[in-house]
Structure 1
Amino acid sequence: MMMRSLLSVASLAVLGACEGESNATGPGAGTPEPAINQVVSFGPLNASSTDTLVFFSFASGTLVPRTADWDLAFRRYEVRLNSPAVGGATSKNVLGFALDNNKTTSDAQVLAFTPAATLADFDGVRVAQIPADDQFQTDRLTENKQGYLNLSGIPTANPANYWKLRLANGTFAVFRATRIKFTQTFAVDTLYLESRLQTGSTLGAVQTLAIAPANGVRQISLATNAVVTGAGCNWDLEFNPAANQLSLVPNVACNAGSYPGPTSPAFANATIASDAPQFATFLSTLVGPIPNSVLDKSAPFRYNLQGNDRLHAAFNTYLVKSGTRVYKLQVTDYYSNTGVAGFPTIRYARIR
């Protein structure tokens, strides 16, 4: 189980090749408070940053500051909801539901899709298709004790995955696993971690720690970069090397907690750990009703269908519940009018 489905490093480099330093601005005035079932298109909007979300409000029909009343957040091919896991304690708990209307559609059919050709089907989604309230979910943190590993075959460390960690002493750090070594009998020989401690608002240099469990559970202090004998709040992570565990868990009793680091900036380029919207009391992964993966057939896009490293809109439809209002949403393109990546266009309509 991976913490999140990712493109390969090479693919991400291609998708990010056109990104620039332009401000996160939208295409201009939107359509505030459209009529029920009125389909509105907005974009291309500049979500080309690899590390900064931009925020959209259904009420104004435009991009708004993070501090405003927003519903959706965009970053390249990622679509997030205003939830505690993304917006923090002041979030409005926007909910979503994937209709999966094109989940089983062939790649050839996706390549043939256009906004015009799919409009009638989109327009046909009305109030009757709204599921029961308990079917809606929001973006949330879930537990994945083995999120630091690739579990296909013999487990290997996945250094692309890292976490922002609130330590047991109340300070912050980022950490990742870079290697796991097994004995000939497939017991864990050594787990290698890297971490960077935050001082003030700055992350420090990388420190490396080798953990030799010798078939026993080990407590780890990132604050001192050492394996310790656990006593109260002197440790931050616990490693269980048992074959049916291979788990990393924070020191929950001392309020340690984790938040998954984004795809970008990567571990080496991260600048702060204390800015997470929330810290879960487990090794966490961020999941939601709109998949953050171009490998998931329920996601807004499919990848590399013509061997040219491009994203193609799948025209999957999502229902988004903001307060008592329900909207239908599609992402219809990933590129600007001049072909620059990371400029999605959306269309939506309020259906309740």
Structure 2
Amino acid sequence: MVASFALAACSTSDVTAPPAPSAGAFTVDATTRWVYVSLADSAVVTPSPSSGESSAWDIAFNATNVMLNGGQAGPGGVTGYCVCQNAAKNPSNAEWLAMTAESQKIHFDTLSRTPAGAVFVSDQLTPAIGGFYSGAGTGAVANPDSVYFVRYADSTGFAKVRVTSLTSPTATTPGRVTIEYALAGNTDAAFGTVRTAQIDVSTGAKNFDLNSGQVTTNATDWELRFDGYTIRVNGGASGTGKSAAAKITDATFATATPASTVANAYRSDVYAGVFNTARYYRYNLSGDNRITPTFDVYLIRRGTRTWKLQILNYYNSTGSSRYITFRYAKLAE
């Protein structure tokens, strides 16, 4: 079956044809939003009333993110497994770069059944911010060495943030969370004065607005949500804003400057499973900041049906990114 999809907006009138795909593959335009695909129907679909409440889709794409309709991501019961025939060989950068859609098609074509012992997993929330504490229950303590840059919900600036202490933690809540943070208007501006705030999570989840330095009940104007032992950002799977976070690995909180990271290091919260633990790409293998597919084969299962899927490209024929080309086929039941 050959199909071709692109989606720039929800309206049918806005759908434009992608470059002609190779046989047995199709391309989705994942440049600006999530694109939801029904494998059974060979179609891009619009989940209603939301992706988390719709069974109409199987797999979704947004930039480098891939989501399956199961687990915490949706009610479809979809799970995934990576055959990972290439990753298992641990290729060198040169070997990765030498792979092509044509040379790797044999792995797709020869897979006719689910490998023995395959363990399928469902998608769970994968927050952009992690590692801010260690231990559990009353023994949980903050990890102040875990430092993140957080982009504002309106993308006009960003902050550096760390958790410095937890007061009265329990099995389900970190109690009162104390953070330190400093704000910068843009990547050329220096960080301002270090600020401190304490968020009481013991009585429930709290949204925090970095600009005002206050807990807020505003549904859209916030950057961080402290929800039990999870810190969410206002973007991706957790909010409607443009917030995202980037972990600082080469500087301390005190020495981190706006130049300590780059834009493509930022991540939003996502629902992810196998495509998070076994990514379909390698980044910057040749120093040109490009996405290189691994050409690993994935299995996507829904009920008694299983599809094999191989991602072939992240760029269209003109070199624009976030145009995901993949091939898939249903395995014999």
TM range (shorter): 0.5 to 0.7
**1:100 and 2:84 matched:** yes
Answering whether residue 32 of structure 2 is matched by residue 42 of structure 1, we say no
Matched, 1:325 2:305: yes
Conservation of the 8 A alpha-carbon contact between 2:131 and 2:146: no
Match status 1:110 vs 2:57: no
Summarize the Cα distance change of 1:57–1:146 in structure 2 as closer, same or farther, 3 Å threshold. closer
Choose from 131, 138, 146 the match for 1:156: 146
**Hey, what's the Cα distance between the residues in 2 that align with 1:145 and 1:334?**
26
Query: 1-side partners of 2:65 and 2:198: how far apart?
Result: 38
Which one-letter code corresponds to 1:289 in the other structure? V
1:9-158 paired onto structure 2 within 5 Å: 22-23=8-9, 25=15, 27=17, 40-43=24-27, 45-49=28-32, 52-67=33-48, 69-87=56-74, 91-103=75-87, 104-129=90-115, 131=117, 135-141=119-125, 146-148=130-132, 155-158=145-148
Within-5 A mapping of 1:288-307:
288-291=273-276, 298-307=278-287
Q: CA 1:123/1:268 → structure 2, altered by over 3 Å: closer, same or farther?
A: closer
How many Å separate the matches in 1 of 2:66 and 2:207?
34
Q: Deviations over 1:1-59 (max 9, x none)?
A: xxxxxxxxxxxxxxxxxxxx94374747x9xxxxxxxx83111x10011xx21111112
Paired with 1:154 and 1:224, the residues of 2 have a C-alpha distance of 19
Question: Structure 2: which amino acid aligns with 1:116?
Answer: E
Shift of 1:342: 0.4
| Contact kept in structure 2, 1:149 and 1:157, CA below 8 Å | no
Query: Counterpart in 1 of 2:191?
Result: none
Q: How far 1:346 sits from its partner (Å)? A: 0.5
Per-residue CA distance 1:120-172 (angstroms, 9 max, x = gap): 1211111152645xx1111113799954479xx96133133899xxxxxxxxx
CA–CA distance in structure 2, aligned partners of residues 338 and 304 of structure 1: 19
Alignment partner, residue 167 of structure 1 = none
CA contact (8 A) 1:162 1:260 kept: no
2:169 matched to which residue of 1?
none
- CA separation in 1, counterparts of 2:128 and 2:64? 23
- The answer to whether 1:349 aligns with 2:329 is yes
Q: Aligned residue pairs: how many? A: 239
Over the aligned positions, Cα root-mean-square deviation in angstroms equals: 4.6
The one-letter code of the counterpart of 1:178 is V
Structure 2 CA distance for aligned equivalents of residues 324 and 267 of structure 1: 35
Q: Is the 8 A contact 1:160 1:266 kept in 2?
A: no
> Could you tell me how far apart the structure 2 residues matched to 1:82 and 1:290 are?
13
- What are the within-5 Å matches in structure 2 for residues 183-262 of structure 1? 191-192=179-180, 210-211=196-197, 219=202, 222=206, 250=227, 261-262=234-235
User: Which structure has more RCO (C-alpha within 8 Å, separation ≥ 6)?
Assistant: 1
> Which residue does the alignment assign to 1:200?
none
Alignment partners' CA distance in 2, 1:308 and 1:264: 29
Instruction: Indicate conservation of the 8 Å contact 2:144/2:163, yes or no.
Output: no
